[in-house]
Structure 1
């Protein structure tokens, strides 16, 4: 026979037996609880002076008998297997209150976090009889600032509730709101979460960028939630009450994924996942997933996988269920994808092999760079914030067909082409991966082979999306990355792109402040001033390349397309 759970210390044998016999009871589908079962709960609760509760499934069977103290009830960890995604768990909690008190905040928290069909508080009279009853259930959408509905009666016999019908209606409404997918596109729905001590405007800017990352990664943003806290909670990042609201919001919106605008510690991922029973990923993992989708070359795939392995290693602790959630969907894919359940030793071996392969890549790139030095060709590298228009400008200047899309990190693998100036001078121009705020350290390290290309550049062309309201912060972010790479001494020409989308005054001001050039990369008629400035810059660098014009086609032996 199943045993009751919870505070059993001090109970007599016959009291424990009475609790065990509650498992034999069955409740008809229409009823919340039968009068006889309610009477038994009230009697034994008054006798032992402790709250007593039962969990009942939709078939009417008692699955758990719970014993608390005079003020509360502890619900043990329930099986993680839920019904269909975005649905309720299929259990209702009926428990006693030894006074006339209504449902507590803890009761409502259990309702949300456990996705229960309902939570009911049954008052126990001094004579040990069932008294007033109050029932709470989740709502399919917020009403008057509340996410739950309440039904009350001064006695169970006066409770106007067809329980089976209520649950069925609720499930149907939740099902209409989606099963975590957007139509037939297969896009997963996610709630973006930010916890920030910064100003409201700064937090909104950061969340807007996270939304762009999510969209580029193939997610549909179901909602954005920001909590302003001077100090983030070390365990949950935000308060438990706010997390409970997120669980309800996820249920109502048909989402089971939370994306945090921060880099979470392994302990925080486990704590939030266990508390909410939702999938949890952070900003770093979202960027890693986005890079995994974009990688095309063998080199790019190696670099992304190395960053993923470095990210996963400290988060690997046996077969932890919280981490198992990270292996599917957004945040869990990648070239040569490594399942989180693989033991640490095998991951470390894989990391060693990746490091060795990337060293070979670096050696090959070094040979090509030395070849360029021997042929004395100036090298220009396009840099800038992701989605600033670098690839579009690269195509416009070289008539190449590099992928250029209005999404973050469309370019991951560097591409080089020759560029011929009007006065027959030629250079090599390279399109590189874009930067972003707080670029994960593991990615910077993994892409060292690619970013080393910038070390050999004679001129960095910093492309800025002038139409983005956050362009000053984006420029600063690029400068920070350059500083971290030790490239602050490189000559830089700032090119303000998308001038056609802003006022002429703004474009002129930025050009004057930064001695730059304003263009619209999609409009060839705006490019001559840029080409002239580039030629001027190259003239300034011409001394080391005095004999380049004597060579007919020096790029042919350099692995650069003509």
Structure 2
């Protein structure tokens, strides 16, 4: 429902959960269910059907014929939303690349109605095969052209990063599930006016701004595209260039919509995608529990107590500003504190302490020895003090 609401101009007139013991290869649903849904669609004069899952090209074509509507599966809908949101040249190119990659995977089956048996001795293909090959070649050429253009963008980004390293401003990247409130927090911290709406994928194009911390030190804050569960592989690949800023970040701030019923599950999805992107486990990470203004007093108090026990978790409201100063102070402390190196030895039975070190991103190297682990860490005095308490 939230995905459907994110596409402008759509009026959602109904939704239904259909349990499928087994997906039918031709129509996805059983014939009885297809007729039942078809009758509802006709009665309400529906023109577009959205399926929250994967639909094969054959299933899509057959269902559109049966229901006389346009049908989009989850990937198709996300691509439509992305196409509507992209504003910069880079964003448009990334969406085009993802859409073409998606279309190419569906091309062979989509053109099965044009296939013909080979005639004569089989030296010349039928007209259907020729059409498929021509379409595939056209898509491949377009993909190559877009990748070439995006590679230029990537080179430009690399030059910008190299220039920033010469003037060593730390980079802090905001990441999180779509609609978690990253852009609202970004605007609050920077005074910018990035599009921030209560909808999925409000931000597609990366935005970077300078922020002066309470200590007087300047950092670069980066707002990124929101993540989502079951993000199509075409989109992960296409937006890798955009998310390179996360890979280069000195600190990652994971923004969560703590008021959402599935907040924990969303957090796991974000962690999974960060892993897919290749984000180092040693990069320091803060977790922000956003939108506490939507919670009742008892729930807010409970979260505040829980957050106080964890030095890298912060409860706040980007909308009202409550708790933002505490986060800024922590970011300032994390980036300003002097770090020193130390060799540690942990036994095999000290798994909790070892896991904490990796979670904090302070492990420079690790070697397994006969009686445990030898670790070389680079940390702050605050982190060492916290470690001694575990």
- TM-score of the two chains, using structure 1 as the length reference: 0.54
1:291 aligns with 2:95: no
1:523 aligns with 2:309: no
Greater CA deviation, 444-453 or 509-518? 509-518
Question: 1:98 — aligned with what?
Answer: none
Deviations 1:68-115 (A, max 9, x none): xxxxxxxxxxxxxxxxxxxxxxxxxxxxxxxxxxxxxxxxxxxxxxxx
Question: 1:80 — aligned with what?
Answer: none
1:500 aligns with 2:317: no
Task: Quote how far apart the aligned CAs of 1:403 are.
Answer: 1.1
Checking the alignment, whether the CA contact within 8 Å between 1:385 and 1:478 is kept in structure 2 is yes
Q: Per chain length, whose mean CA-contact separation is higher, i.e. which structure has more relative contact order (CA < 8 Å, sep 6+)?
A: 2
Matches within 5 A, 1:212-291: 212-218=2-8, 219-291=10-82
Which residues of structure 2 form unaligned runs of 5+? 115-131, 341-390
Matches within 5 A, 1:29-428: 211-218=1-8, 219-316=10-107, 343-428=135-220
Task: Quote how far apart the aligned CAs of 1:271 are.
Answer: 2.9
Task: Quote how far apart the aligned CAs of 1:272 are.
Answer: 2.3
Distance in 1 between the 2:104 and 2:207 partners?
31
Checking the alignment, whether the CA contact within 8 Å between 1:436 and 1:478 is kept in structure 2 is yes
Task: Quote how far apart the aligned CAs of 1:221 are.
Answer: 1.3
Task: Quote how far apart the aligned CAs of 1:275 are.
Answer: 3.3
Distance in 2 between the 1:213 and 1:541 partners?
45
Checking the alignment, whether the CA contact within 8 Å between 2:247 and 2:280 is kept in structure 1 is no
Checking the alignment, whether the CA contact within 8 Å between 1:384 and 1:475 is kept in structure 2 is yes
Task: Quote how far apart the aligned CAs of 1:226 are.
Answer: 1.1
Distance in 1 between the 2:177 and 2:48 partners?
27
Deviations 1:2-43 (A, max 9, x none): xxxxxxxxxxxxxxxxxxxxxxxxxxxxxxxxxxxxxxxxxx
Distance in 2 between the 1:304 and 1:527 partners?
33
SS of match in other structure, 1:360: helix
Total equivalences in the alignment? 318
Checking the alignment, whether the CA contact within 8 Å between 2:253 and 2:286 is kept in structure 1 is yes
Deviations 1:508-547 (A, max 9, x none): 265246840011112234311111111121124778xxxx
Checking the alignment, whether the CA contact within 8 Å between 1:318 and 1:343 is kept in structure 2 is no
CA separation of 1:321 and 1:221: change in aligned 2, threshold 3 A:
farther
Checking the alignment, whether the CA contact within 8 Å between 2:57 and 2:109 is kept in structure 1 is no
SS of match in other structure, 1:380: strand
Deviations 1:217-240 (A, max 9, x none): 122111111122343223322211
CA separation of 1:278 and 1:321: change in aligned 2, threshold 3 A:
farther
Distance in 2 between the 1:521 and 1:533 partners?
16
Checking the alignment, whether the CA contact within 8 Å between 1:274 and 1:322 is kept in structure 2 is no
CA separation of 1:487 and 1:541: change in aligned 2, threshold 3 A:
farther
Which residues of structure 1 form unaligned runs of 5+? 1-210, 324-339, 544-562
Task: Specify the structure having the higher radius of gyration (Cα).
Answer: 1
1:534 aligns with 2:331: yes
Give the superposed CA RMSD: 2.5
Distance in 1 between the 2:18 and 2:202 partners?
31
Checking the alignment, whether the CA contact within 8 Å between 1:495 and 1:516 is kept in structure 2 is yes
Question: 1:468 — aligned with what?
Answer: 260
CA separation of 1:506 and 1:265: change in aligned 2, threshold 3 A:
farther
Distance in 2 between the 1:391 and 1:408 partners?
12
Task: Quote how far apart the aligned CAs of 1:213 are.
Answer: 1.0
